[in-house]
Amino acid sequence: MDYLRKADERGRANFGWLDSRHSFSFGSYFDPRHMGFSVLRVINDDQVRGGMGFGAHGHRDMEIVSYVLEGAIEHRDSLGNRFLLPAGEVQRMSAGTGIQHSEFNASQTDSLRFLQIWIEPAVTGIEPGYEQANIPQQGALTPLVTPDGRHGSLRIHQDASLYRLRLAAGEAAALGTGERQGYLHVIDGHASTDAVTLAPGDGLGMKAQREREITAGPGGFEALWFDLPGDH
């Protein structure tokens, strides 16, 4: 049976300056039924007030992907990187042996909303690294993060790939897993698959040997599709 994670059932943390929805257990939110999917450990939908953000803090041995939905992130880290990450761009940070970074809303007035994604690496103790890019759409499925950096995607230290799925109204796409696993996180719009309707914030996990046709609703559809190892 597929794994269905509805948006309104996610964990939530609201600190005033930050309103965050957790697809999987994170921080003070813990649910043993939702600990991740394959090597995918975190999808946090973070909304940050103007002028606010996450001060310097450390990570190690994790592949961290940020995808900005609204506004822009001002990123600084202990590697000396200082970049602006605007809406539509994707960033991959390999924490490796240890990295300190901060993420702030680049605007004093406008809201920032981004997806914070954590993926377990296949190797630990590597040298920390950072990449970001604006990757144009290339058909329905566009690779954003892959093990080999194909088609201009960012590289990740895991046998996992992240794609952006965009469908026009009424358009359909087939998603299959083969011997692997897959996870779909809805960004915008609605879609139907079998007897399931998917809405923004919903997640759909697919085990091995599964295939579904996703058909976009009248307003079109956008989601992230994770191609993940099947042996976890």
Residue-by-residue DSSP string for 7-29:
GGGSEEEE-SSEEEEESS-BTTB
122-143: pLDDT as tens digits: 999 999 999 999 999 989 999 9
Per-residue model confidence as pLDDT tens digits over 184-215:
999 999 999 988 999 999 999 999 999 999 99
Helix, strand or coil for residue 152?
helix
HSE toward the beta carbon, residue 47, CA cutoff 13 A: 9
Task: Record the pTM.
Answer: 0.96
On the question of pLDDT at 232 being above 90, the answer is: no
State residue 155's pLDDT score: 97
% of the chain with per-residue pLDDT over 70: 99
Contact between 158 and 207 under an 8 Å Cβ cutoff? The reply is no
The stretch 90-118 carries a mean pLDDT of 95
Which residues, other chains included, contact 184 with Cβ-Cβ below 8 Å and sequence gap of 6+? 165, 175, 198, 203, 204, 205, 206, 214, 223, 224, 225, 226
Decide if pLDDT at 231 tops 80: no
Q: Where along the chain do its domains lie?
A: 10-136
Nearest-5° angle of CA 83, CA 20, CA 191? 95
Reported as a single tens digit per residue, the pLDDT across 89-98 is: 999 999 999 9
Query: Please, which pLDDT band fits residue 1 given cuts at 50, 70 and 90?
Result: low
Mean pLDDT of the chain: 95
Rounded to an integer, the average pLDDT of 5-28 is 96
Q: Which tens digits make up the pLDDT trace of 146-188?
A: 999 999 999 999 999 999 999 999 999 999 999 999 999 999 9
Q: Which residues contact 65 (CB under 8 A, 6 or more apart)?
A: 90, 91, 92, 93, 115, 116, 117, 118, 119, 144, 145, 154, 156, 162
Instruction: Report the CATH number of the 10-136 domain.
Output: 2.60.120.10
Res. 29 pLDDT band, cuts 50 70 90: very high
Q: With contact defined as beta carbons under 8 Å apart, do 54 and 84 qualify?
A: no
Dihedrals φ, ψ of 150, to 5°?
-65, 150
- What pLDDT, on a 0 to 100 scale, did the predictor assign at position 195? 85
